[in-house]
Amino acid sequence: MRKVAILGIGQTVIDEHWNRSLKELAGEASFAALADANRDAVQSIFVGNMLSGALGRQENVGVLVSDWIDIQSIEAIKVEAACGSGASAFRNALIAVASGEVDSALVIGVEKMTESLPVETTEALATAADADYEASQGLSFVALNALVMQRYMHVYGWKHTDFAPFSINAHSNALHNPYARLHFSISEKEYTQARMIAEPINLLDASPIGDGAAAVVLVPEDSIKQAARKLVIVTGSASATDTIAVHGRKDPLWLSAAEKSAHKAYLQAGLAPPDIDLFELHDAFSIMSALSLEACGFVEKGQAPRLANEGEILPTGKIPITTRGGLKARGHPVGATGVYQIVEVVQQLRGEAGISQVDNARIGMAQNIGGSGASIVTHILQTRLQ
C-alpha cells in the first residue's frame, strides 16, 4: 500500500458554541485544513461523530458536511466507534488513500454537545457503554471510570493525590493552546480539593465536554515531491477491540486493546516505546492516562503515577503526553477528539506547538479510545526524511 501524508490540518476552538451548528463547525475546520493543504477539493470525506443522531436529530452527517462545504465526493460517510469515532474515521480514510481507492481524503471529527440538557448529554454518552449491563443499571460513564480508578488505587496502593500530575500537566499545556477549552493552570491543592463527581473521580480528574471540530487532509506521500515545510507521514495504524463491558475482562485494569493496537503500530513503524517523542493519549479521566501509558509499554503495570510524579510526562520528560492540553484541558468533544489528537501530533512534528513544543519531535503517537477501553485505535506519525 502507498504511504500516506497528512498535508493539511485545521481545528476550531472547543467551547459552548451555542450560535453555531454542527455543520458550521465542521466547515470551519475543513476549510482551515484545506487551506493549510493548499487544496480546494478532495475525493472523499470521512466524518467521525458519535452523537449527532441522539443530540442533534441529524444523521447522514457525511453528506450534510460534503454538501455544506460544497465538495461533491465519492465517499461521504460517518464512522462511529463512540469516543473513538475520530481516529476510526481517520483510519478508514487512511486505508482508502493508501489502497489507491481514492487519491485524497478529508477527515473531520465533529461533535456538538452543549445545546442539550446536561442530563441528556450524560445519558447520550452512556450509549458508549453496554446498554444492557452497564448503562441501564444506572452506570454513567464517569461512574464506570470511577469504579476502575477505585480498584486501581486499591490494587496498586496509590492515593488520589498521586494522580495530580496528569491533570496539572494537561492544564499547563493547554494554557497557550488557542483552541483549548480551558485556559487556567491548576495546583496540586486545587486538584485535591476539587468537587467530587463519582468517588474517587473529582472535577479535575474528568475531561470537559464541548462543541468543536478538527480536520485533516490526506494524500499519497509520493504525490508530494517538494514539501513547503516538514511533511508528516503515517507509519503505523492499528485498531483492536476488547469486551464492551468492563466486567467482561479478565483484568479490568489492563487495556488489552491499547496493548494490541500499539504493539501492531510499533511493528509497522519498526519502533519501540523509547522511540516515541510524544504521545497524545486518551485522558478522558486521569485513570485512563495511567492505564494507556502502561498498556503501551511506557512504564510497568501499576507504575504510571510514579512516572507522572517524576515529571516524565511533561514536555521535557521521557514521554510527554497531552502536550496541547489533552482531553482534560483542550476538551473532549467526543467524536472529534481522535482528529484533534492527530492535528496536535502534526503540530508537534512540524515544530508548531509553541510553548509546549517537544524538542526535536520527530515521532509522535496518538491513541483514541471508544467506550471504556472497548475499541482502541493507535497511530504513529513521523516527519519524512528529506
Name which position in 13, 63, 203, 227 contacts a second copy (CB under 8 A).
Answer: 63
- Given CA atoms 138, 240, 269, 109 in this order, what sign does their dihedral have? negative
Q: CB 104 → a second copy: shortest distance, Å?
A: 15
CA distance 382 to 143: 37
Question: Looking up cell 514521554, which residue turns up?
Answer: 319
Name which position in 8, 10, 56, 220 contacts a second copy (CB under 8 A).
Answer: 56
Instruction: Show Cβ contacts of residue 368 under 8 Å, excluding neighbours closer than 6 positions.
Output: 83, 84, 86, 87, 88, 282, 337, 338, 341, 376, 377
CA distance 183 to 194: 17
17, 83, 282, 296: the catalytic one is 83
Cell numbers representing residue 350 in the block: 512540524
CB 364, CB 277: distance < 8 Å: yes
Closest by CA to 112, choosing from 60, 64, 55, 61, is 55
**Residue 131 binds a second copy (CB under 8 A):** yes
Instruction: Show Cβ contacts of residue 176 under 8 Å, excluding neighbours closer than 6 positions.
Output: 354, 355, 356
Q: CB 171 → a second copy: shortest distance, Å?
A: 29
CB 49, CB 111: distance < 8 Å: yes
DSSP string, 197-230: EETTEETTTBPP--BEEEEEEEEEGGG-SS-SSP
Name which position in 40, 132, 188, 300 contacts a second copy (CB under 8 A).
Answer: 132
The yes-or-no answer on residue 83 being catalytic is yes
Question: Looking up cell 494522580, which residue turns up?
Answer: 163
Closest by CA to 368, choosing from 269, 255, 233, 276, is 255
- Look up residue 355 and give its DSSP letter: G
Instruction: Show Cβ contacts of residue 154 under 8 Å, excluding neighbours closer than 6 positions.
Output: none
Nearer to a second copy, 123 or 275 (CB): 123
The yes-or-no answer on residue 247 being catalytic is no
Nearer to a second copy, 15 or 67 (CB): 67
Q: CB 173 → a second copy: shortest distance, Å?
A: 29
**Residue 251 binds a second copy (CB under 8 A):** no
171, 282, 332, 379: the catalytic one is 332
**Residue 128 binds a second copy (CB under 8 A):** yes
Q: CB 6 → a second copy: shortest distance, Å?
A: 18
Name which position in 16, 20, 31, 54 contacts a second copy (CB under 8 A).
Answer: 54
User: Which span sits near a second copy by CB under 8 A: 122-130, 294-302, 308-316, 342-350?
Assistant: 122-130
Q: CB 381 → a second copy: shortest distance, Å?
A: 18
Name which position in 50, 144, 246, 288 contacts a second copy (CB under 8 A).
Answer: 50
**Residue 75 binds a second copy (CB under 8 A):** yes
Q: CB 166 → a second copy: shortest distance, Å?
A: 25
Nearer to a second copy, 84 or 165 (CB): 84
Q: CB 351 → a second copy: shortest distance, Å?
A: 31
**Residue 148 binds a second copy (CB under 8 A):** no
Q: Is the peptide bond before 200 cis (omega within 30 degrees of 0)?
A: yes
CB 381, CB 349: distance < 8 Å: yes
Name which position in 241, 303, 309, 357 contacts a second copy (CB under 8 A).
Answer: 241
Name which position in 173, 356, 375, 378 contacts a second copy (CB under 8 A).
Answer: 375
What residues line the site for a second copy (CB under 8 A)? 1, 21, 50-54, 56-64, 66-67, 72-82, 88, 91-92, 95-96, 98-101, 123-124, 126-132, 135-136, 238-245, 248, 370-371, 374-375
Enumerate the active-site residues.
83, 332
